[in-house]
Amino acid sequence: MKRLPLIGALLALGALLTPMLAQNKTVASRVGFVDADALVQAHPDYKKVQEVQSQARKELAPLEEKLKPLDEKVRSGQATAKERQDYEALAKTYQATLKKWQDRQNQVLKPILEDVDKAIAKVAKAQGFSVVMSRQVAAQSGLVVYADEDTDLTQAVIKELKR
Residue 32 to residue 45: CA distance in whole angstroms: 25
Mean pLDDT across 95-103: 97
Cα separation values, 75 from 9, 28, 69, 80, 84, Å: 80, 58, 10, 12, 10
Q: Is the pLDDT of residue 162 over 60?
A: yes
Mean pLDDT across 30-56: 96
Q: Is the pLDDT of residue 40 over 90?
A: yes
Residues sharing a CB contact under 8 Å with residue 93, sequence separation 6 or more, in sequence order: 63
pTM, 2 dp? 0.74
Look at residue 24 in the predicted model and tell me its pLDDT: 56
The proportion of the chain whose per-residue pLDDT surpasses 70, expressed as a percent, equals: 83
Q: Is the pLDDT of residue 158 over 60?
A: yes
- The correct answer on CATH 3.40.50.10470 for the domain covering 18-161 is no
Mean pLDDT across 50-77: 96
Hey, is 85 helix, strand or coil?
Answer: helix
Lowest mean pLDDT among 20-24, 27-31, 34-38: 20-24
Q: Is the pLDDT of residue 89 over 60?
A: yes
